[in-house]
Amino acid sequence: MSRDPRYDILFEPVKIGPVTAKNRFYQVPHCNGMGHRYPSSTAAMRRTKAEGGWAVICTEECEIHPKTDVSPHAEERLWDDSDISHLARMTDAVHEYGSLAGIELVYQGHETANRYSREVPMAVSSLIGSNLDPVQAYAMDKSDIRDVLRWHREAAVRAKQAGFDIVYCYAGHNLSLPMHFMSRRYNNRTDEYGGSLENRVRFFRQMIEETKEAVGDTCAVAVRLAVDELLGPDGITAAEEGREIVEMLAELPDLWDVNISNWANDSETSRFGEEGAQEKYISFVKGLTTKPVVGVGRFTSPDTMVSQIKRGVLDMIGAARPSIADPFLPNKIESGDLDSIRECIGCNICVSGDNLMTPMRCTQNPTMGEEWRRGWHPEKIPGKKSDSQVLVIGSGPAGLECTRALGLRGYDVTLAEAKTELGGRVANECRLPGLGAWGRVRDYRTSQIQTMTNVEIYLDSKLEPGHVEEMAADHVVLATGAHWVQNGIGRANTRPIPGSDGAQVFTPDDIIAGASPTGPVVVFDDDHYYMGGVIAEELRGRGLEVTLLTPASEASSWTHNTLEQERIQTRLLNMGIKIVTCQNLTGIHSDHVELACVYTEQRTSLPAASIVMVTMRLPDDTLYQALSGAGNVTRIGDALAPATIAHAVYAGHRYARELDEPANDGVSFKRELSRLGEF
């Protein structure tokens, strides 16, 4: 295969100040839950992207001083010279493949609680952060402003010493001090740094100028700016101040990296936004500057990328999540291997890693975060270690990934699926409102498997124990999935809810299968991820009166970690779905349900002709129980312990990687041990 000439423009070099990017693929800064805490893991992850063809690869946020401490989040640090060496590990890895390394220097102002350093927070004005820490920031005086500019300049010099090619001045979200200076919402100053927009931009201008003076001879200086906060007149907008800021600073930086704020808007999930959704906000920038412009939009289609460039929207294709889902996306476009691209599904499970302060994972790419820990590569897998034949039963995300990876290793694999289509839970869930892009989990794997001559697929094949024994496979993998329980057992209830065995009680499986409950419907969400919300949407879309009932204080509360909770609750309310919070479901009757306050246990009731239980799932392990005496049978994914689709894909991949490899009953991955200090 060779590159389609239509995509030649994507592989043109781009000059960025004193450096040149080898093509137009630009991995913008993105958090990953590793940072300074796991430097080897971070470096290996970025190295893999360089190997995959990304011309520019940037760090996550990088603290510049103890007063910029964002603990417990694991971002990068350049507090002093002792931080240079671990960052140099990343730049060396990136340079190995001819890519440029960028670093995003950040100070979050009043959002910085300094939990580890215990320094006193400071900000553009006297403010309190949104992180609910019971501390406030004092208003910076001019000596504080000079200090911050000096810290930034010194961090830029250290970045240059660490080998970085691009140094950022960051105002990309509302979690940045320069944005706080520019924002009328935060800047209450009456000196030359407050009042008019020109005054409010002064701090950011000085930061850019001092950074260029310090490192601009060999390093490009990039600006990341949120040109619209999506707050209308209460915030910066692309139509007014966002445009004016770009006009004021148009030729000052070497590159413009433009986006929208806040993070939930910038990294909007596929449930709420399409590929390229930011174009309408950032398309004006290229008309105001001669410097290259990069922007993001969850780009996975090379045709969309080419369109962005040819229409003068962007000079470089920015990506965070698509580079996580497929670190080799540029190389695959260059080689013409488009069918092997793992397209990002926009689920934001990667984002949850940073929000939960743990190394990120990816639904599409099970090797993400395991490049150093386990030595996993997204495009390379060791060959088989035996001539064993493997039977995989179930074609959900675990079974499909297990089959794909085993097939790549060279094993003879038989995949048996009880239903008429492949995909398991993914095939079902991608039919629910907003989850269509999740079908890519199935589509990528089925397209790969169908080209493998060593893999046989059997649909409509519900295997019984006797069938499994007759097939005499050396290894049997049960990826039979799980089902939602009807009895209401979950987090809030450890015993069946009285009345849950009634004919008016349904599960998400029933709704997906086409069951038709009558209204009013109560959706009892004790799962707290996405399912309760999408089932409520589905039923409301059928014209039913719907109430979402949850013991939590808000709808879909875990989705704060995927940056979706506010959007989900807003959509439900706008659809006319009633949300009842902090209430447990305690009883079900023919025309109503009984509730109990989770705090006071005060009893109330709601009218309900039908109830949908979204509480927990149980493994479909009947076949496993019948075969449990056989030593060659293994359960994976939801068939072992129901979890996210990302967990299932990872489980399938891990089984395939570890088949016929030496057993390890201890820690099966490398650990990063911090240097022990003196007592």
Provide the annotated active-site residues. 31, 170, 173, 266
**How many residues would you count in the chain?**
679
Tokens of 270: 């596929």
> What is each CA distance from 207 to 52, 184, 545, 582, in whole angstroms?
33, 19, 55, 47
Long-range contact set of residues 667-672: C-beta below 8 Å, sequence gap at least 24: 668/374, 669/370, 669/373, 669/374, 670/40, 670/372, 670/373, 670/374, 671/373, 672/37, 672/38, 672/39, 672/40, 672/41
Distance CA 258, CA 267 (A): 13
> What is each CA distance from 59 to 12, 75, 349, 363, in whole angstroms?
23, 9, 19, 21
**CA count, 13 A, side-chain hemisphere, 236:** 33
> What is each CA distance from 153 to 78, 114, 149, 565, in whole angstroms?
11, 21, 6, 37
**Strands 592-597 and 583-588, sheet pairing:** antiparallel
- Please identify which residue in the block is written with the tokens 């065995």: 501
> What is each CA distance from 240 to 234, 237, 244, 311, in whole angstroms?
12, 5, 6, 23
Q: List, in order, residues 6 or more apart from 198 with CB less than 8 Å away.
A: 248
**Strands 25-27 and 475-478, sheet pairing:** unpaired
Query: What radius of gyration, in Å, describes the C-alpha atoms of the chain?
Result: 26
- Can you say whether the dihedral through the CA atoms of 457, 463, 469, 474 is positive or negative? positive
**Interior angle at CA 559, CA 616 and CA 434, nearest 5:** 90
**Residue 550: which of 641, 618, 482, 612 has the closest Cα?**
612
Please tell me what DSSP assigns to residue 477.
E
> What is each CA distance from 282 to 14, 101, 248, in whole angstroms?
20, 24, 16
- Please identify which residue in the block is written with the tokens 């820690």: 667
